[in-house]
Amino acid sequence: MWVNMKPLKIQPHSDTVVQYTVGISNSRNHFEQKRNLILLKPGYQTSIKILPNIITTTTEFKGLERDIRQCRFSEETDGLDMLTSYSKIGCQFECALKTALSVCRCLPWFYPNNFTYHPICDMFGGYCFDQTMMDESNYKQCSSTCLNDCQETELTTLPNHIPIDENDMCREDSLFFQHFEANLRLDFSYQYYRNLIRGGPILDVTKSISNSSLCRNYVRNYISFVTVQSSTSSVIKSERAKRLSFYDQLSMVGGILGLFSGMSVLSFFEVIFLVLVLILDLLIMIFGKLLGFLCKSRKLIEDQDLEDSDDDSQLEEEIYYLHVS
């Protein structure tokens, strides 16, 4: 794709070229136009290579709680006002948007607005809103809410800037030179008019075209070429799964026990069972001795009570005999 970065008119306070940027995103994050942009350079060919990475999840992973899996599915839009399908980039975008609304107290005309809570921004409000949205720190204020996507298609971009071959571009039989020659008056009409009013030198079109100096200068200062490539033979695919199942944890514990103590999980439970049996036998022995001691003490008390009863009966008989005598 050819990009003509020459402005229609050049003022003393304006830039010499119009700044163009290219953003690569999937269908769910096309609204993100402020971050991860590739700046085009005049006189350079920008080659962008895209490496897609498809991330899926297992059925077992879907059953995990959000606090455990640390990611959100597309249908989990709780806590969000503008998004109907969750994505991390969209969540961060809404977070920065709320910050810009709290600071600038307005919403630009090209954002969804029912004009109930927020008025349309004027020139100064629009500048405030744009500067706030360009601040990267505003996108990171909701890190606890804006989790990673559980399922997504990541696009890794690898830009490369290569200088354009001016001589090849400005050959008379090239397609660009033919287009340049056909639109020459349109591209330089403002420059002609400014030189005519100010009394500046008038451009010799015939000479400049014949030696290709005008074309080369135009390519060097205003033209950028953009190519986007994607590898179709191979795609990176990864899957989110539960890190350790119950059987994985059991086998890991068994392996550690076998490595450091020389016994298996079954032997470990046998040791626990042996310890429990020993503790139970010890308790039975202790309670048996205690019960025998209690029984012996009770027998002694009963014998003592019986002897006391015999002494009382003998004393009563002696008192009765004295009384009769």
Indicate whether 53 and 92 sit together in one domain. Answer: yes
- Nearest partner of 147 among 46, 65, 232, judged by Cα: 65
Residue ending a domain, among 245, 269, 303, is: 245
pLDDT tens-digit readout, 46-92: 999 988 889 999 988 888 888 888 899 999 988 888 888 899 999 99
Indicate whether 113 and 79 sit together in one domain. Answer: yes
Indicate whether 51 and 198 sit together in one domain. Answer: yes
Q: Euclidean distance between the first and final Cα of the chain, in Å?
A: 147
pLDDT tens-digit readout, 266-313: 777 788 888 888 888 888 888 877 777 777 766 666 666 565 565 555
**Which residues constitute the domain of residue 101?**
2-245
| CB-CB contact of 80 with 92 (8 Å) | no
**Whole-angstrom Cα distance, residue 96 to residue 146?**
12
Indicate whether 210 and 236 sit together in one domain. Answer: yes
Indicate whether 193 and 270 sit together in one domain. Answer: no
Indicate whether 22 and 160 sit together in one domain. Answer: yes
Q: Per the structure, how many domains does the chain have?
A: 2
Indicate whether 273 and 149 sit together in one domain. Answer: no
pTM higher than the cut 0.85: no
Indicate whether 125 and 217 sit together in one domain. Answer: yes
| pLDDT above 80: residue 37 | yes
Indicate whether 76 and 222 sit together in one domain. Answer: yes
**Whole-angstrom Cα distance, residue 121 to residue 124?**
7
**Whole-angstrom Cα distance, residue 119 to residue 170?**
51
Residue ending a domain, among 213, 245, 277, is: 245
Indicate whether 105 and 124 sit together in one domain. Answer: yes
